[in-house]
Structure 1
Amino acid sequence: MKNAAQTRILAIILAVVTLGACVLAGVNFSAESNYNVPTDGIWWLETNGGLCAQQVPVDSPGQRAGVRAGDVLITVDERPTLALAPFIHQLFRDGTYGRATYLIARPAKRCQLQPSSTKFDIQVILEPTDRSINYGLRIIGVVYLLIGLYVLFRRWTAPKSTHFYVFCLVSFVLYAFKFTTELDTFDWIIYWSNVVATFLQPALFLHFAFTFSDTAPDPAHRTRRGILSTFLYLPGLYLLGLQIVSIVHWSATEVLKHRLDKIALAYMALYYVVAAALFFIRARSSENPLERQQLKWLTRGTLVAVIPFTLLYVLPFLLDYAVPAPVANFVRLALIILPLTFSWAIVRYRLMDVDLIFKRGVTYTLATAALVGLYFGVVAVSAEMVHTRLPSLRVWGLLAAIVATGLIFDPLKRTIQARVDRVFDQKRFDYRETLIDFGRSLNSQTDLRALVDSVVERLPQTLLVTRVAVFLASEPDADNRPAPKPTFELAASHGLTNLQAQDLRALDIRFLDFDALDANSHLFLENPQQVLRLPEAQRETARRLDLNYYLPCRVANRVGGGTRTVAIIGLGRTGDGDFLSSEDMEVLESLAGYIGIAIQNAQLYKSLESKINEFERLKDFNQNIVESINIGIFAVDLEDKIESWNAQMEVLFARPRSEAIRRHLSEILPSDFLARFNAIRGDGTAHGTHTLYKFRLALPTGETRTANIAIAPLLTRNLDVVGRIILVDDITDRIQLETQLTQSEKLSSIGLLAAGVAHEVNTPLAVISSYTQMLSKQLRDDVRIAPVLEKITQQTFRASEIVNGLLNFSRTSGAEFVSIDLNQLLRDSAILLEHQFKTARIRLDQELAPDLARIQGNQGKLQQVILNLMLNAKDAMQGTSTGLITIATRNEHDQVILEIRDTGSGIEREHLHRIFDPFFTTKTNPQPGQHKGTGLGLAVSYGILQEHGGKITVDSEPGQGTTFRLEIPATESPNKTPVYATSQTRA
């Protein structure tokens, strides 16, 4: 209760004093604005016989009138001026812009009046005293007061906040209170308030420096420090008493006042320099990194403000050297840096704002100084132009000049800010620019691993930190939706040498919850080793990581709006043990946004790449299915342009995919198919499937194939028709197989019938033949009966031949199979028919493959087939002047191919499908020397080929010849027999 009451009383006192000071400052400003003090601009000092002109500024009224330094003023308007007081009274009598008559003596030696000195009168036009510097000083005072109020209201309970506010309030009085020399009661209050502030402000500042960051727990130590702090105010009290005595009791002369002003300035500069030294010593000896970095910037701020003030203003004043007004104004304005740099030391609101405030304080000071000079210059030029050349504008012209000058402040401030950054922190400034450029270039990185590696590599190089870590949130689910409460895992790090692989699994970083409603833009841990507010597991994690900063990388949440954290960046201190500045944190927060977007892009790219790979896999899988199907498949769009064309279509139409895609259907498919296709498309059943059964399809190669063609609409998920898909099932080989199967079944049935008939007919036929031969022997001389019996005997032989043929036809199994060299079998068979070919004037060509594979079969039956086909070929060429039979063999895949070609009359197309039927023959009218066939030779050959697992096909054109093609499975490696490429047999 007692402390609360004291706090309220202190607050009331400070409020009353602050309000009173503000009121007095306002009234003082108004009084000074309405009260002009006449002056000749000369610095007069009392000497024997008059006042000596110590300094005569250039372009002052006295200098323009002809007064020189060292002249002695004897009278003004015939009134003696042996002291400053009567001189000043006379100036007030003449008033501003009045004419004062000076009696000047110009001695041979400076300020030493002699009877022989030259004396003369001059007219001096008095001008108002230039008090423009007071405007700048009042601005400094207002800045002090505003910073003090901000510190007080922002952190009332912070250590030394009240002390700092009192310092700022006294500084406000020091710079804002300016007595007008009117010397009334109010003016004396202003004067003595300024005097008190002059001696109190440096003591408060040194006290602040002396006790800054004094956290010693020992009460005795604090007591001793408090006693020592009290002694800091004694010199100021002594000088204040001296000032009072000199003014009140001694009726101080101007010389005494000047000396007291020197003492006051020396006292102020000394206290400032000692404070800077204290800051420097404490910064070098402090073991706390945060405190050390604060003190480092406080030292810089104090030196930047104090050194110009001491060297360029105090020392020249102590040596009685007149400081040029612009220089004096500038060094006074530089004192504004002091409150700017000290404010953060009390607030500790944002980490390391002290360096930012310091540098911005320098910036604003320089900008303000430049602007003040530019402002008055522009206003002066504008006023001259308004009054002399554009009198009609007057006030509006001045206002325009003031506004134009104000508009250039911000670009001027930014220019100076960039220069100050480069002067004070050139290396890190360049690094930050590099960091920003790096952040902008992150979006081009699509590999997540390379991205996080580049982050942990670039940040230590740029910010000079020793420890960096990147924690990535858990991956989104299959639908790319983030987890309700994502977990973070360490993805990459730099400098975390104290972490082992097993430690990574034990990290508990749940304290990094940046998705909470009250989460800050970053988390700062001044001492990660002792974060007492965290649970034990999380405190241990903070200790192991030893990171001072954690920044979230946030991105927009596509589900539900807001933002979500995709990564967290952790950083430690710099290599010198310093903390990062708030300017660094602002850059990092901006960079975190870039990194978050880059990570999200990388994750999306990875997800997209995964989906693309999955899509490509499915596409390849579906394409493989389409390509593997032994059916031609192609699709057309609504304009009948081909969109897809599988491998089977390439084989079927002998046209590669590249030549078919995007071509119109009419350019690829035959006209008869297009007619049927257009008819189907125009029947109004767009969603139906149509099938063309056993459609004869003419191919570009001239071949005609039989196919079942299915035409179906190509639909989207919304059942919209976007084209048509056509399936072409080539059933030509299937039909041939079906025909062969039918033929085989037919031959099998006929074989069973033939076997029964042969057995039943053969016995009576043998009896008839025996009796007929017996009768022929007995009736050999009977001219009438003997020929008849001869014919009966021939017909019985003929019937016996037919019966034997039927028996051979029915015997399709039971023979032994051996390995056969088909080329040798063909040569042996050709030798057997060589005489017949010569007689019939037929040439035989043999095109036998030298590496022909061996086959497994019955040599006698295969020779029967070969002889039968060769004799048929000879019979087909009977009656021609010349004929050619070509026998060719070759290997084809795992088959041995035998072709027997002739140049005979050929077979009519309508007979081709019947030539393997039993008893079907085309030799109805045999030529001379040609026997009439029984129709069983090809049927028997067909059965023998079936028995050997092969097949026989025929191709014939009437008048051009016939080709029989035999396919027999190969069983062994090719023969290595001598080459007999071609052998000919001629008549």
Structure 2
Amino acid sequence: MQSEMAVDLHMDSPEITVLPTSSGKGRNRPMLKENQVRFVAAVVALLTATAIVFSFINFQKEREFETPTDGVWWVESGGHLKAEKVEADGPGEKAGIKQGDVLIAINGVDITRKAVQVRQIYRTGSWSKATFSLTRSNVPIEVPVILTPADRSLNGGLRLIALIYLGIGIYVLFRRWTAPKATHFYLFCLASFVYYSFHFTGKLNQFDWIIYWSNVTAWLLQPALFLHFALTFPETKDVVKRHKWLVPAVYAVPAALLSLHIVALNFLRPSEVLRWNLDRGQMLYLAVYFVAATVVLWQTYANAASPILRQQMKWVTRGTFMAIAPFTIFYVIPYLRGSLPTAAMKISVLSLIFLPLTFGYAIFRYRLMDVDLIFKRGMAYTLAAGTITGIYFMAIGGASEMFHKNFPSAGPAGLMAAIVVTALLFDPFKNWIQDKLDKFFYRKRYDYRKTLIEFGRDLNSETDLDKMLASIVDRLSRTLLVDRIAVFVHDEQSRWVLAKSCGISQTTGLDMSFMNEERPDMAAAGHLFFDNTSQAVRENPGARETIRRLDLNYYLPCTVMGRTIAMVGLGKTTEGDFLSSEDVELLETLAGYIGIALQNARLYQSLAEKITEYERLKEFNENIVESVSVGVLAVDLEDKIESWNAQMEVMYALPRAEALGKRLSDVFPLNFVEEFYRVRQVPGINNLYKFRMGTPAGDTRICNIAIAPLVTRDFNVIGRIIILDDMTDRVELESQLAQAEKLSSIGLLAAGVAHEVNTPLAVISSYAQMLSKQLQGDERRSALLEKITTQTFRASEIVNNLLNFSRTGSSEFAEVDINKVVSDTLALLEHQLKTSRVKVENHLAPTLPKIYGNTGKLQQVFLNLFLNAKDAMPSGGTLSITTRNGRAVEVEVCDTGSGIAPEHIQRIYDPFFTTKKSPRQGHSGGTGLGLAVTYGIIQEHAGKIRVDSRPGEGTQFTMEFPMVRKAVNA
């Protein structure tokens, strides 16, 4: 009977609780009080040591002894046992036992009571066959049953919960042993440890009975301790204060149940029904007490006046509900209704693990902010304790054996050495788990928290006060996830002013007097803390308004050599929680580094102001050099560049940083360096006129260069000054002017020649056509006349080009869509381009403004350019036409042909200049008038034309036309 009871007992309700987190500091107490504390500490230590030793021995004995079972719940009925329930797929069901069968005998021994049946299966043993004599519907039958070991799978999970309770309880007691309710909390954890780790094996010896009664006592004591805790946490409830008998009444129920249990087992006739009713009564008591405790905690949360207590109790109630609800719904209620523990019911027991992990931290009423820290540390210590417990005895045994083997006379020294070694190994192992949990809980914040102190030490490397303050605000807000943060410093009148902030909008009209006073609370705690910034009742009205507007809960002084340099203010986290005590301690440490860094930054700032004045004068002189419109550079006696003004950067296309410190030969082309070395030997100022110089950008600049010695006040030469005046644009304008004048002169001549030549050409053409009609039968002579006619037309075309070039033709200007002109011209040449294997790529801007011009003449411009591009690509290629809208309408015509030789670039617009000396089959020879006519038409349209060509790579013509203006439309 007792073994069956033991199995059921440990399928009940595992509980767990977490750590407290407030700071309690010892105060002077009377000697009697100190003796009481020491006595309680000694008793608690003795109970803890005894519980741990007994738990380990019980674990060992349970592994050595297997409890046999037949998988049937037998209940006394009519002088024999009746099968009340048969476990699915258990030994009894496999043997054929069914619900309602009556057990008469086992192996020939009459069975009249449950205790006799247990004794018989124990004698038979696990994995042995027992013959069960049964009656089924008054029909006697015998079935062989193979007994199997009882299922103890839940015991491992219960022992894990027990270790969690004990680990968290020990951590709380050692870290905050003077905190309110800490001892009560530890006793609850210790009772839970005993309840979940003590398991009756069924050997029926004295040690087993100690384990059994310890388990029963802990089972009955645990709910009472929890309800007592709820009634007095975080403060004693008013109902308890009014009714002093309430707390003793809490413990009266478990005392009565324990007395009933003792009487039932020792003075009443044991029966399975009695055991079952006792278990259900105790289970009902456990559920009622836990639910009552949950209700009390929920009322505390609902009636909490301060935001801290409300937030604190929110975690407590949620954790308690998550622990109690699944256990009550899925285990207690089915158990009370008569269900034996199933696998699902056993799993629901594990929900009670949430209770310690969310509850213990709240013991310290004003340390709500430690919830994350306590959960993290509690988990770390629990995992460490659970793992160390497993290897602890192995380490002791191994180390002891080693000492005895090597030092036989060591005696107890081996055991002591093993304990010391285990203790030394525990801390690094715990730190390793703590580090892993930090990475899990903080994730991206982990690196920030880990390097926050290093950041404080590195602050001295930043001398800019504003950047330093911005860095402090940014790093703290990202590390601690704080939504509001501010740094206050003293101004020249020693008044606190807001220097840098994040999340604060109102920064004027602040009364900072609450930070000027020597406050006892700041001296004691190391910082100011306002749990409710809207109710700072101890401050004056102005300070209260400032605290409310800033909405900062923490003010940490940055002190250096006893003087407060700055004050750092922080609000709650982005989730509305207060900071943890670990965060506050970290900030207090960092505040010292911040104070030193701010003091150093102010010294640097003072020095920087003096340097700034000197730099201003120096910069004024340098600005003169930077502002001139010519390039200026200076070199030392080793020809290393020491100065390089902005105009040099623009003209030579080389940043100053890439030029300074380099030799002239590493920066400038060889032709300039040779000229520089030549003229350097000549005293005085030397000039190079219209010197052509290549730049790193690939273009060529034409410069007037002056090279002069750089001398000191004592007329000592310390280097050279080189001045470069960029003449490229001026030379290009001069070239265009000369070209225009030349074309104007040639145009006048061409006009006269065209008129004189046009008349005889018309006569020759007319007579040739007349003769051709008369000699239609003579093929030989007709061919000759056809050639004469063709040549006269060609000569006429040349004359017409000359007329266009000289602007003698009439032209009407109107608004023209340049995209349409381009498209129409390409359509005319589509066949020629296709047969010449020329691929056309159009990049025409969809919204191009119209220009003012003549469609026919513009078509002639593009026709000339497209035909030239085709002739430049005898083996085929790509012709690309692009239009765009900028300051003017731009048209680019690019080909991938043979390009134009550099010596021909300046002559391409000259009339009758052509490079088409020997045309290929199907191509006509050039007249040299196409580009000349093109140039004249573009000038007539007030436009510009530029050419860029590289031999072997292609040519690009760029044309610009002014857009239509309102004055033109009028």
1:224-243 aligned within 5 A: 224-243=242-261
Q: Cα gap change, 1:2/1:92 in structure 2, threshold over 3 Å: closer, same or farther? A: same
**Structure 1 residue 92, shift from structure 2 partner:** 1.3
Mapped pair 1:287 → 2:276: no
CA drift at 1:470: 0.8
Alignment pair present for 1:29 and 2:23:
no
Q: Within 5 Å, which residues of 2 pair with 1:623-638? A: 623-624=622-623, 635-637=634-636
How far the C-alpha of 1:202 sits from its partner, in A, is: 0.7
Q: Secondary structure at the match of 1:33?
A: helix
Given the superposition, is the C-alpha separation of residues 266 and 616 from structure 1 closer, same or farther in structure 2, using an over 3 Å criterion? same
Contact 2:439–2:446 at 8 Å: present in 1 too? Answer: no
Are 2:184 and 1:190 equivalent residues in the alignment? no
CA distance in 2: counterparts of 1:705 and 1:245, whole angstroms = 120
Trace 1:193-204 onto structure 2 (pairs within 5 A). Answer: 193-204=214-225
In structure 2, the residue corresponding to 1:286 is in which secondary structure?
coil
Counterpart in the other structure of 1:726: 720
Q: Measured at CA, do residues 645 and 233 of structure 1 come closer, stay the same or move farther in structure 2, by a change above 3 Å?
A: closer
Shift of 1:452: 7.9
User: What is aligned with 2:620?
Assistant: 621
Largest Rg, 1 or 2:
1
Q: Deviations over 1:513-560 (max 9, x none)?
A: 99x9x997x865546799999999999987885632346999xx9xx9
Alignment partners' CA distance in 1, 2:573 and 2:629: 71
Provide the residue aligned with 2:499 in structure 1: 491
Q: Of residues 340, 343, 350 in structure 1, which corresponds to 2:357?
A: 340
| 1:124 to 1:633, Cα distance in 2 relative to 1, 3 A | closer
**Distance of 1:416 and 1:67 partners within structure 2:** 55
Task: Specify the alignment match of 1:773 in structure 2.
Answer: none
Distance, in Å, in 2 between the alignment partners of 1:228 and 1:341 is 27
Partner residue of 2:553? 548
SS in 2 for 1:501: coil
Is 2:133 the partner of 1:103?
yes
- Alpha-carbon offset, residue 30 of structure 1: 2.9
Q: Distance in 1 between matches of 2:638 and 2:225?
A: 93
Q: Residues 52, 544 of structure 1: CA spacing in aligned structure 2 closer, same or farther, 3 A cutoff?
A: same
Deviations for 1:767-825, whole angstroms, at most 9, x for unmatched residues? xxxxxxxxxxxxxxxxxxxxxxxxxxxxxxxxxxxxxxxxxxxxxxxxxxxxxxxxxxx
Indicate the residue corresponding to 2:167 in structure 1. 146
Corresponding residue to 2:202 among 181, 190, 193? 181
For 2:509, the equivalent position in structure 1 comes to: 501
2:357/2:379 contact within 8 Å kept: no
CA separation of 1:282 and 1:463: change in aligned 2, threshold 3 A: farther
Q: Secondary structure at the match of 1:97?
A: coil
Aligned residue among 23, 26, 42 for 1:12: 42
* 1:625-667 deviation line (CA, Å, top 9, x unaligned): 66899999863356646665899999xxxxxx99x99436654
What's 1:403 paired with? Answer: none
Tell me the SS of whatever aligns to 2:245.
helix
What is the distance in 1 between the residues matched to 2:56 and 2:645?
A: 95
| Residues 70 and 148 in structure 2, CA contact (< 8 A), matched pair in contact too | yes
- Cα distance in 1 between the residues matched to 2:134 and 2:40: 58
With over 3 angstroms needed to count, the CA separation of the structure-2 counterparts of 1:711 and 1:66, relative to structure 1, is same
Which residue in the other structure is 1:700 paired with?
Answer: 689
> What SS does the corresponding residue of 1:726 show, helix, strand or coil?
strand
Of 109, 124, 128, which residue of structure 1 is paired with 2:149? Answer: 128
| Post-superposition CA distance 1:245-290 (Å, at most 9, x none) | 1111112201110111011111111101110110000111021322
Q: Residues of 2 paired with 1:431 and 1:709: CA distance?
A: 61
Q: 1:157 to 1:46 in 2, by over 3 A?
A: same
1:638–1:497 distance in 2 versus 1, CA, 3 Å:
closer
Q: Distance in 2 between matches of 1:366 and 1:302?
A: 21
The match for 1:571 is: 570
Matches within 5 A, 1:807-822: none
Is 1:470 matched with 2:486? yes
* Correspondence 1:213 to 2:234: yes
* 1:367 positional shift: 14
Displacement after TM superposition at 1:132 (Å): 3.4
SS class of match (1:320)? coil
User: Separation in 2 of the partners of 1:648 and 1:64?
Assistant: 101
Give 1:341's aligned amino acid: T
SS in 2 for 1:51: strand
CA contact (8 A) 2:124 2:130 kept: yes
* Whole-angstrom distance in 2 between the partners of 1:725 and 1:474: 51
Residue in structure 1 matched with residue 283 of structure 2 by the alignment: 265
**TM-score in terms of structure 1 length:** 0.50
Q: CA deviation at 1:78?
A: 2.6
Q: Runs of 5+ in structure 1 lacking a partner?
A: 107-113, 370-406, 422-428, 476-482, 651-656, 677-691, 716-720, 730-987
Distance 1:534 1:5 in 2: 42
CA–CA separation in structure 1 for the residues paired with 2:377 and 2:707: 88
Supply the distance in 2 between the matched residues of 1:159 and 1:705 (Cα, whole angstroms). 89
CA separation of 1:79 and 1:698: change in aligned 2, threshold 3 A: closer
- Match for residue 96 of structure 2? 66
Q: Please give the alpha-carbon distance, in whole angstroms, between the structure 2 residues aligned to 1:67 and 1:714.
A: 124
> Letter of the aligned partner of 2:552 in structure 1?
L
Given that 1:712 and 1:726 are in contact with CA atoms closer than 8 Å, whether structure 2 keeps it comes out as no
Match of 1:380 in 2: none
SS at 1:156's partner residue? coil
In 2, Cα distance between equivalents of 1:354 and 1:449: 35
Residues 209 and 275, structure 1, Cα contact 8 Å, conserved in 2: yes
Residue-by-residue CA offset, 1:858-912 (whole Å, 9 max, x unaligned): xxxxxxxxxxxxxxxxxxxxxxxxxxxxxxxxxxxxxxxxxxxxxxxxxxxxxxx
Question: Is 1:78 paired with 2:108?
Answer: yes
Shift of 1:59: 3.7
Greater RCO structure (CA 8 Å; 6+ sep): 2
2: CA distance between counterparts of 1:628 and 1:499?
Answer: 42
Checking the alignment, whether the CA contact within 8 Å between 1:76 and 1:87 is kept in structure 2 is yes
Q: Shift in Å at residue 72 of structure 1?
A: 3.6
The amino acid across from 2:720 in the alignment is I
Amino acid at match of 1:700: Y
Aligned CA distance change for structure 1 residues 276 and 413 (closer, same or farther; 3 Å):
farther
C-alpha distance in structure 1 between counterparts of 2:710 and 2:377, whole Å: 82
Residues 695-844 of structure 1 mapped to structure 2, 5 A cutoff: 700=689, 724-726=718-720
Cα shift readout 1:162-209 (whole Å, capped 9, x = no counterpart): 222222222222222222222222222222222222212111110110
Q: Distance in 2 between matches of 1:69 and 1:585?
A: 65
The question of whether the paired residues in 2 share the 8 Å contact of 1:471 and 1:568 is answered with: yes
Q: 2:177 aligns with which of 156, 178, 196?
A: 156
Q: 1:414 to 1:166 in 2, by over 3 A?
A: same
Cα deviation digits, residues 331-388 of structure 1 (max 9, x gap): 333323333333223356954334654688799999999xxxxxxxxxxxxxxxxxxx
Structure 2: state its 5+ residue gaps. Answer: 1-30, 387-428, 453-458, 650-655, 692-703, 724-970
Alignment of 1:89-100 (within 5 A): 89-100=119-130
Distance in 2 between the 1:341 and 1:647 partners?
Answer: 67
TM superposition shift of 1:88:
0.9
SS of the residue aligned with 1:352?
helix
2:369 pairs, out of 352, 360, 379, with 352
Write the letter of the residue equivalent to 2:369.
M
CA contact (8 A) 1:96 1:126 kept: yes
Question: Does structure 1 residue 321 correspond to structure 2 residue 339?
Answer: yes
**Quick check: 1:498–1:544 contact (8 Å CA) kept in 2?**
yes
Distance 1:102 1:178 in 2: 29
Check the 8 A contact 1:38/1:96 in 2, yes or no: yes
Q: In 2, are the aligned partners of 1:432 and 1:462 still within 8 Å (CA)?
A: yes
Q: Is the contact made by 1:511 and 1:538 (CA closer than 8 Å) also made in structure 2?
A: no
What is the identity, as a one-letter code, of the residue corresponding to 2:516? D
Q: 2:323 aligns with which of 305, 309, 328?
A: 305
Partner Cα separation in structure 1 for residue 322 and residue 312 of structure 2:
15
